[in-house]
Structure 1
Amino acid sequence: MKKRLLLVCCILLSLTGFAQDQYELNSGWLCKPRSQVSAGGQALSSTSYPLNDWKKARVPGTVLTTMLENGDIPDPFYGMNNKRIPDIYDVGREYYTYWFVKDFIEKPSGKQVWLKFRGINYSCDIFLNGKQVNSSPYQGMFMRKEFNITALLSKTGRNRLAVIVHPPDPVGNPNGGQGGDGTIAKNVGTQYTAGWDWIRPIRDRNTGIWDKVYITRTQDVHLTDPHVVTLVNGNTATVKVSADLQNTSSRSINGILSYTIAGRKVSKEVLLASNQSTELKLPDLLLKDPKLWWPAGYGDQSLYPLKVSFSHQGVSDSQTIKVGIRQIDTKWNATTNSREVYVNGKKIFIKGGNWIISDAMLRFSNARYDAEVRYHRDMNLNLIRVWGGALVERPEFYQACDKYGMLVFQDLWMSGDCNGRWDDPKKLESKEQRRKYPDDHQLWLASAADMIKMVRNHPSLAIWCGGNEITPPDDILKPLRDTILPALDGTRWFVDFSNSLEMSKNEKGINGDGPYGIQPLATFWDKRDYPFNSEVGSVGTGDMESLRRFIPEANLVVPQRKPDSVWDYHHYIAYDRFVDAYGKSADLADFTKKAQLVNYDQYRGLMEGYSSHMWDWYTGVIIWKTQNPWTALRGQMYDYYLDPNACLFGLRSGSEPLHVMYNAGNGAVMLVNNGFSAKQGLNLVVKSFDMQGKSTTLLEQACDVAETSHATITNIKQKVAELSAKKGSFLSLQLLDGKKKLLSHNFYWLPDEQGMYTGLNELPESRLSIKAKKIKSGQIRVTFTNPSGAAVSFFNRVSLLNGKTLQRILPVFYQDNYFSVEPGTTKIITIDYNPKVGEPMPNIRSEDHRGRVQTVIVTQ
């Protein structure tokens, strides 16, 4: 039976050919510091060399992640532990120079076998079965490399790979400056590793085989880096495809290069000379009525599988990629004095978040990427900017952005702090000297070209940027802009740096970013900022449960203007009078609860203020920042452990595609419509509630709003001021369609005439009831009912708990959170999560502002 099955498989292969196949070398690695190894690469890569005392290594990963997993260092993200880990600047590069060894099985089979590295940091030498693999230097953090190892494979199939990885040079002095003394930027790599104002130094500077390693099998013709371009014109799309082909044989080969998409096939006969490498373009394809890819909030994220193949004598090498049919364009808006972005011919108001990196120690995973990008989608954002002091994000990040509809603004590796925009006494060299960084400009350009090829097919990629707050040097900028990008991509907006005048100009003709601290809410509405602001942000401290994950018990104290040492080490930003407006904090739990009120208000107000001036003051805004790759205490919508705080839900509210809102500056009730169609026949209901739950109807009115615009409906400032004067008040705004379906609900809490919120402390005890039911695996529906005659059930924080440990399950995706339920109403939310096999049914816990905690069991 087995022989017959094998025969059938062989016949099928002979008829259909076979695709390029590969597997990842992601387990079974061992490592040892070079200082403890006397043998060289030839000996170490022999399977006879003993590895009995070598330690397990994490690949992909870094030396530091390996040391942590082996228990050699404490968790650097907890407390002050990072200070207990030797810094490479003090102990020298040799301390973090490591050998990595991997045994694997691969028998010679007549196929071409390739060893592929997707990233090492910073330089390495590679050995296989006693032979050196790389004949020229392999260096630079952002260079993919592949080696044909067919002739080096062992006839027995037992192979050993040995790689020595050297740290960056120089490593930089982590002296507290942005990027330390700046010299880390002499390399082509991440700059944050020497420390920034949101992170402490990464002690090994991310040394290691930090990205994926593959073994790939192909035929004599090797197909690489297919390139797909889509152009959209009304209800048709043009698809353009090219691919790189390499003939590894000593004979010429003729064959068919083809691609297939949406059931259509395009082919071309080609002849490849012996040992020839070339890029070949295929004929264009016109698709009618294609399913388009849209940013989140504007339409579906349709993706087509596109298969590119080279066939010769019935055998093929192929790659299949997912393609989103879409076109990115930009135009200058003369009213705002800024660039505006178009997708498929439609104008998009950019609501973005700044992203550093998923994990500062490069512990990447598909699941984490998916969760983080989903959080951004759930905040009703449509763009993520990848900051220039980090990296060109991995394909797995882009896959998540393709899936969730997040446009990507991708910086390349420059930052004004390290690369010489300003004089800085903490930098080793002058700003003029730092403008020449990195040391190897050709390596920078080669790395940029390679990373462009790696991610250019993703529909989410929308904008290339030369650097963060500074342009690259001219001999980098000009070839990048004028030669490399037009040749390798050419379909996206390229902006020379993140504060470029090509992005926006304020009324004084300058561009910039910020502010970065906490702001009075009216500022977001009343003060005109940069028209396309690449960085504006605020606070981000989590709740008590979040803080306990990384702050020792002794340091869990209410932060002061001069904070506790641990709070300071994790870069706390003070809340000052904004928390004090809720009354003096009794303890840290009370402080963090009040901080969530500030968090919610800050980010809702920020996005509402910018949206209220859409297309007349602004074409876009990007929040600094929406996530942290370590346990920082600033600028985050969720903590490092993926636990959301109130920032996320305030931003989610303020960024609603169709949104009703109250202008904190002039007291106007406004509508914002980000959609492509006008909204007519809407009903607006505005009510005020006092602390006892008594309601006053302020407005019931029919209203309309045009497509991608905002509209002012009326002004209720005086009425609200009168109702709020003594103890503050609640303000409920509801937008309904003609059938009374709720389209948008916004709920504000307003201070008294002294600017204080102490009336919240007089709220009666909540009478909210909660029921939770499992809808399907991984999804729960929770119903919250507040009876008539009760007070407002204010600011309920809902958590999904493990049914046994009663600890929060992370990550979890809440349809809404930190919400209030008005008297005589019911609120229903859904909760999504990934249940583990054998895990008990979870519980739901809810805590309101007054501290009433309810825990209910989820029913089947």
Structure 2
Amino acid sequence: MTGRRPRRAPFGCLIVILSLIVGFGVAGTGGVVTVSSSELTRGWSLRSAQDVTDTGAAISQVGYDTAGWHPIALPSTVLAGLVANGVHQNIFFGTNLRKVPDLTQQEWWFRGEFPAVRTSAGQVYWLRFKGISYRAQIWLNGRRLDPDAVGTMVSREYNVTRLIRPDTTNALAIRVTPPARDCQDLSFCTVDWNPEAPDMNAGLWGKTLLDTTGPVALRDPYVKTTLPLPATNAADLTVYVDAINATDTPVTATISGSISKTGRPTISFSKEVTLDPGKRRNVTFDTNAHPQLHVANPALWWPHHFGRPELYRLSMTAAVSGSTSDRKSIDFGVRQFTGHRTTVNGTSFAGYKVNGRPILFRGGGYVWDLLQRWDTKTNQAHIDYTKNMGLNTLRLEGTLGNEELYDLADRAGIMLMSGFVCCSAWENDRSWSPEQERVAYASLDSQMRALRHHASSFLWTYGSDRPPTEARLDGYKRIARMLHWQNPTLDSVASWADPNAGMKMDGPYVWEPPVLWWDSSRSGSAFGTTAEQGTQAPPPLESLERFIPPDDRWPIGTVWDYHAGKPGTPFDHITPFTDGVDKRYGKADDADDFSRKSELQNYETTRSFFEAWSARQHTQTFGTIFWMLNNAWPSLHWNLYDYYFKPGGGYFGAKKATEPIHISYDYFTRNVHVVNSTLAARTALTATASVYDIPSLTRKYTATAQVSSPANASVRVLKIPPLTGLSRTFFLRLQLRDANGSSVSDNLYWYSTRPDALGNADNHYQTEIDGFADLSGLNRLASNRHLEAAATRSLSGGRETVTVTLTNASPTNLAFFVRPEITAGDNGREVLPVIYSDNYLSLWPGESTRITATYETAALHGQLPYLRVRGYNVSTTSTPVHR
């Protein structure tokens, strides 16, 4: 390719970064050193550089007067700091975000003070930044440490031993230049799923750390695991760790490690290495020199549907002259991901195996808060919701660096699909400057180092909508090899841009009827492997009330549109969704009526989406990502649960579709499938399909079949024939029972003798709809006043579990689409986050069911929990829940 840069360019970038690490040496060694890592979170202030005339040398002096600055805690973006100080208030309500000025047209000072403990003459101090966006000048104690630290995703560290002031206070000042708007820098980019943050997420978004070591520091420990596939009765472990000599003289260190797990023998290994002055060296331990790293019958890490996500502990130590110089520990899993290709509909698609078993990845696109705020509770809620929905994957399209999320995914058995973002400077690499090239390679190096040891990390995608150029790919892949990356990679994930990509991104991105997913003649249907596709998904009314002002809630208008996709894109309104509601369920009367109907539509659409992908697993389908998992701000577009963690129709539709053993209906062929998403076969099952008129509930058809459900597979068990004499809207109930008559899966569909019809026209985000199903018969269901609800609660370790029993005591009427909720106080808001064992339930006359709800006691805010029950034809009730 004309103008291609030298192949060694990526390593030139890495050398520059490493030179920063050894910029300040250690005069000598001796004494007992402290090994520690302290996150610098408190004592920070923020101010616009336009309001400060002093230099970095002055601002980074201890005692500098910060009167008029905004106190903040790190990590923080500029906007997050201003919001925390009340400069901009309630910015997610209505259109208030428009009132925030463009914060990228000025630079910003972050300033903090911190102590450093005095130890011995051999003590080394390291200042580490996990993320600064986008460009920074860094000053420490009056000295400029770095004149131009550039790259949002570049982790960087500095040996500051000669600048630090032990046993007293130190001062740090960072002047931040924000990223350019419209995704023109190699930074974070939200493309079109919400408005751009007014500061483009400028600031110290990652952790800021002060580490202490002896003369040799350890970095980035990692265990690569290899199984003798298809067997899994042994594993060869290769351990990698980087060792850095922080001194001006050669140092010989003993690098030791141990691998431990409760109930398993501890594995120990060690070697001596000599490091040249100021050098960083990768140290490797493998089975050739250390046969103990060949492990018999390892405890394997599995995604949660397949088994337990078992983890081991790697502990590494560097010792110099018999004294500990540094320690590092990580958790890792013994597992191996492999890829394969299968041609479907003329396109080669990528599929994956874990530990030799094919796995259909089913997930959602994760995003963090628009102000890039997160904490342990928030991260845990995302993981808990993902697992509770039955999903096994999170896609991180450019949303990289939330390392606590990686840890939680490891423990939960959730896989991570990571890579750079689309539709931005990241994909305009043909016009990169030399600096952008360096930033791109350094970003990959930093992010792969952070991901590679995680058991949950299963795939890296170098590009999204289109692949990088050949020269960039060559550089990226050289870095991956240097880092011993053990997982599959893809050049991009859009077959429209690269026929050999292995994944498709053919939409849709707006609401479509459930039949679309099943009609494999449509580009957006469930075949092959998709990196993303999704629909609009307005949240429940209780959430709408939190961000849409009362006067703007009805009729749907400009404030609703502002909370759809990014203004000026095809997604800045929800007309396709509202057309579906009005033309299928009947025109909504008000916001409340719209919400109850939209919840039905969210449920059926999302359920059908995951059912279609699951029913063809490993033969025609290999993986899917619903776009999106969650929202960066209160939004009407693209989510399985909303910004406030309120689970709605899409959440429970996904949960129903992905239950371990599931019976489902194909809207296109009328076939009934049983899908087993576990590694254990099930036999002696009975499938029953019954069709009922609405509103009479007269049964018009029934059929049964005996089912053997093989592990990790789907089988077709029935086909519903064309039926006559049905009401325009009807019910189809599918039930799967075991040999004892116990329910394994129970699934209720509502559909029409006038089904949805797709047109011939389509584009990258929409397929034409020629006709809408008539589901208005649901509005004629008889009111059910005989639904009985009872609840008890138990408390343990700051968490509560409420057990809810629902009984339909009516002899004739269905209790349809019933939503039990635990609220803080009588008719208060639902406690959030909350995990339900099931929800949006339908009970036939005389039926009873029991579910649980689990939440933190703190979510009650001191109030008594109440059980609120409502349904499509059931009036709302609210009763206290006592212990």
Per-residue Cα deviation, 1:488-532 (whole angstroms, up to 9, x for no partner): 0331111011115899779xx995421222222222212344511
Amino acid at match of 1:352: G
Amino acid at match of 1:369: N
- Tell me whether 216-225 or 276-285 shows the greater mean CA deviation: 276-285
TM-score, normalisation: structure 2: 0.86
Task: Select the residue among 440, 444, 447 that pairs with 1:444.
Answer: 440
Q: Secondary structure at the match of 1:464?
A: strand
Per-residue Cα deviation, 1:779-815 (whole angstroms, up to 9, x for no partner): 2211111126142211112222113782222111111
Amino acid at match of 2:802: I
Aligned residues: 802
Task: Select the residue among 309, 318, 328 that pairs with 2:327.
Answer: 318
Instruction: Give the structure 2 partner of residue 579 of structure 1.
Output: 581
- Tell me whether 279-288 or 558-567 shows the greater mean CA deviation: 558-567
Instruction: Give the structure 1 partner of residue 451 of structure 2.
Output: 455
Amino acid at match of 2:351: E
Instruction: Give the structure 1 partner of residue 531 of structure 2.
Output: 534
Task: Select the residue among 628, 631, 647 that pairs with 1:628.
Answer: 631
- Tell me whether 248-257 or 648-657 shows the greater mean CA deviation: 248-257
CA distance in 2, matches of 1:77, 1:592: 20
**Displacement of 1:645 after TM fit?**
1.5
Asked if the contact 2:816–2:874 (Cα under 8 Å) also holds between the matched residues in 1, the reply is: no
Asked if the contact 1:571–1:633 (Cα under 8 Å) also holds between the matched residues in 2, the reply is: no
Asked if the contact 1:666–1:717 (Cα under 8 Å) also holds between the matched residues in 2, the reply is: no
Asked if the contact 2:562–2:573 (Cα under 8 Å) also holds between the matched residues in 1, the reply is: no
Flag the 1:121–1:259 CA change in 2: closer, same or farther, 3 A. Answer: same
**Displacement of 1:53 after TM fit?**
2.6
CA distance in 1, matches of 2:63, 2:605: 63
Amino acid at match of 2:508: P
Per-residue Cα deviation, 1:605-656 (whole angstroms, up to 9, x for no partner): 1121222322332222221222211122111111111112110111111222
Instruction: Give the structure 2 partner of residue 847 of structure 1.
Output: 870
CA distance in 2, matches of 1:101, 1:846: 51
Amino acid at match of 2:391: L
CA distance in 2, matches of 1:270, 1:418: 42
| 1:824 corresponds to 2:846 | yes
Amino acid at match of 1:469: D
CA distance in 1, matches of 2:278, 2:372: 37
| 1:394 corresponds to 2:402 | yes
Amino acid at match of 1:756: D
Task: Select the residue among 491, 494, 501 that pairs with 2:489.
Answer: 494
Asked if the contact 1:19–1:319 (Cα under 8 Å) also holds between the matched residues in 2, the reply is: no
Q: Secondary structure at the match of 1:325?
A: coil
Instruction: Provide the aligned C-alpha RMSD in A.
Output: 2.7
- Tell me whether 655-664 or 696-705 shows the greater mean CA deviation: 696-705
CA distance in 1, matches of 2:664, 2:505: 28
Query: What are the residue-to-residue correspondences of 1:405-554 with 2, within 5 Å?
Result: 405-413=413-421, 415-416=422-423, 436=432, 440-481=436-477, 483-500=478-495, 511-528=504-521, 529=523, 531-554=528-551
Task: Select the residue among 356, 374, 377 that pairs with 2:387.
Answer: 377
Task: Select the residue among 223, 226, 229 that pairs with 2:221.
Answer: 226
Flag the 1:438–1:153 CA change in 2: closer, same or farther, 3 A. Answer: closer
Instruction: Give the structure 2 partner of residue 204 of structure 1.
Output: 199
**Displacement of 1:713 after TM fit?**
1.4
Flag the 1:651–1:475 CA change in 2: closer, same or farther, 3 A. Answer: same
Task: Select the residue among 329, 333, 351 that pairs with 2:342.
Answer: 333
Instruction: Give the structure 1 partner of residue 704 of structure 2.
Output: 700
Q: Secondary structure at the match of 1:48?
A: coil
CA distance in 1, matches of 2:564, 2:313: 48
CA distance in 2, matches of 1:746, 1:440: 52
Q: Secondary structure at the match of 2:204?
A: coil
Amino acid at match of 1:673: N
Asked if the contact 2:705–2:718 (Cα under 8 Å) also holds between the matched residues in 1, the reply is: no
Asked if the contact 2:634–2:643 (Cα under 8 Å) also holds between the matched residues in 1, the reply is: yes
Amino acid at match of 2:245: N
| 1:188 corresponds to 2:194 | no
Asked if the contact 2:257–2:268 (Cα under 8 Å) also holds between the matched residues in 1, the reply is: yes
Task: Select the residue among 201, 208, 223 that pairs with 1:213.
Answer: 208
| 1:683 corresponds to 2:686 | yes
Flag the 1:462–1:437 CA change in 2: closer, same or farther, 3 A. Answer: farther
Task: Select the residue among 123, 129, 135 that pairs with 2:135.
Answer: 123
Instruction: Give the structure 2 partner of residue 267 of structure 1.
Output: 270
**Displacement of 1:335 after TM fit?**
5.5
Q: Secondary structure at the match of 2:101?
A: coil
Asked if the contact 2:818–2:874 (Cα under 8 Å) also holds between the matched residues in 1, the reply is: no
Asked if the contact 2:826–2:879 (Cα under 8 Å) also holds between the matched residues in 1, the reply is: no
Instruction: Give the structure 2 partner of residue 158 of structure 1.
Output: 169
Segments of 5+ residues of structure 1 without an aligned counterpart are: 1-16, 173-179, 421-430
Instruction: Give the structure 1 partner of residue 795 of structure 2.
Output: 776
Q: Secondary structure at the match of 1:665?
A: coil
**Displacement of 1:774 after TM fit?**
1.5
Q: Secondary structure at the match of 2:258?
A: strand
CA distance in 1, matches of 2:299, 2:496: 35
Flag the 1:505–1:466 CA change in 2: closer, same or farther, 3 A. Answer: closer
Instruction: Give the structure 2 partner of residue 50 of structure 1.
Output: 65
**Displacement of 1:104 after TM fit?**
1.4
Q: Secondary structure at the match of 1:364?
A: coil
**Displacement of 1:464 after TM fit?**
0.8
Percent identity, please: 27
Amino acid at match of 2:45: L
CA distance in 2, matches of 1:828, 1:717: 33
CA distance in 2, matches of 1:799, 1:676: 33
Q: Secondary structure at the match of 1:631?
A: coil
CA distance in 1, matches of 2:822, 2:33: 46
Asked if the contact 1:113–1:148 (Cα under 8 Å) also holds between the matched residues in 2, the reply is: yes
Task: Select the residue among 318, 343, 346 that pairs with 2:357.
Answer: 346
Task: Select the residue among 315, 322, 342 that pairs with 1:307.
Answer: 315
Task: Select the residue among 15, 27, 41 that pairs with 2:42.
Answer: 27
CA distance in 2, matches of 1:572, 1:851: 31
Asked if the contact 1:692–1:792 (Cα under 8 Å) also holds between the matched residues in 2, the reply is: no
Amino acid at match of 2:309: Q
Segments of 5+ residues of structure 2 without an aligned counterpart are: 1-31, 261-265, 288-292, 756-772
Flag the 1:335–1:680 CA change in 2: closer, same or farther, 3 A. Answer: farther
CA distance in 2, matches of 1:321, 1:829: 37
Asked if the contact 1:726–1:753 (Cα under 8 Å) also holds between the matched residues in 2, the reply is: no
Instruction: Give the structure 2 partner of residue 557 of structure 1.
Output: 554
Amino acid at match of 2:718: T
The structure that is strand-richer by fraction is 2
Instruction: Give the structure 1 partner of residue 6 of structure 2.
Output: none
CA distance in 2, matches of 1:582, 1:739: 38
Amino acid at match of 2:349: S
Amino acid at match of 2:159: N
Instruction: Give the structure 1 partner of residue 780 of structure 2.
Output: 762
Query: What are the residue-to-residue correspondences of 1:32-181 with 2, within 5 Å?
Result: 32-88=47-103, 93-94=105-106, 97-110=107-120, 111-134=123-146, 137-168=148-179, 171-172=180-181, 180=182
Per-residue Cα deviation, 1:426-480 (whole angstroms, up to 9, x for no partner): xxxxx8x965478621221112112111221001111111122011233321111
